[in-house]
Amino acid sequence: MEKKGNLIVISGFSGAGKGTVVKKLVEKYGYSLSVSATTRAPREGEVDGKDYYFKSVSDFQNLIDYNGFIEWAMYVENYYGTPRKFVEEEMAKGNDVILEIEVQGAINIKSQYPDAILIFITAPDVATLKDRLAGRGTESEEVILKRLKRAKEESEDIGEYEYVVVNDDLDTCVDSVNAIIVRKKCLRENNIELIEELQKELSVY
């Protein structure tokens, strides 16, 4: 029996460093990364097809109509969505797929894929969160405040996540997320074939 890959949903406050965590997970552990589609404007240096698939509103709405997303949502006045094809193909190949999406998307995923692993990344405290948002230097005061208000809302939804991982030290955070995924492969119920084979081989003694 082919083993299907895991679906790992990573959310977290803006400023928690999700993007860096996800990038490192892909580099260090070889996870497949789903690239989201969005209607927001590219930030400086962002590359279409790598950071996001940048779409017009009409193109995005057309993809919604054609069932092209496994989830989509509106966030700070822009559309964000997860293209269906890549995720389903990778999982079928047995590859673990990471989605970096916001809370509403995570809830949508969990309802469609009950085995999905939902992980919320947070900074160790709100002061650090604010520092990181300001430090990025690409956002206005107004946008930072909007993000903090959004973070307040998101903090009320943490209960939707099975895991909460603090991004204080990047490597520790990345290794913790990896541990969550590795552990799932070690569950007895995910090793039934092996156990039955061992029992069969030992039955002769």
**Residue of 26, 74, 164, 170 that binds its own copies (CB under 8 A):** 164
Q: How far apart are CA 114 and CA 156, in angstroms?
A: 21
According to the binding rule CB under 8 A, does residue 186 interact with its own copies? Answer: yes
**Residue of 26, 76, 92, 198 that binds its own copies (CB under 8 A):** 198
Q: How far apart are CA 164 and CA 111, in angstroms?
A: 19
Distance of CA 15 to the CA centre of its chain: 15
According to the binding rule CB under 8 A, does residue 162 interact with its own copies? Answer: yes
Site size with its own copies, rule: CB under 8 A: 42
According to the binding rule CB under 8 A, does residue 151 interact with its own copies? Answer: yes
Is the Cα torsion angle 100, 103, 105, 106 positive or negative in sign? positive
Structure tokens that stand for 38 in this block: 């969005």
Q: How far apart are CA 200 and CA 189, in angstroms?
A: 17
Q: For the window 105-134, what string marks contact with its own copies as x by the rule CB under 8 A? A: --------------xx-x--xxx-------
- How would you class 97 by CB atoms within 10 Å of its CB: exposed for 0-12, middle for 13-18, buried for 19 or more? buried
Q: How far is the CB of 132 from its own copies (least distance, A)?
A: 14
Q: Which residues bind its own copies (CB under 8 A)?
A: 119-120, 122, 125-127, 145, 148-149, 151-152, 155-156, 158-159, 161-166, 175-176, 178-180, 182-183, 185-188, 191, 194-195, 197-199, 201-203, 205
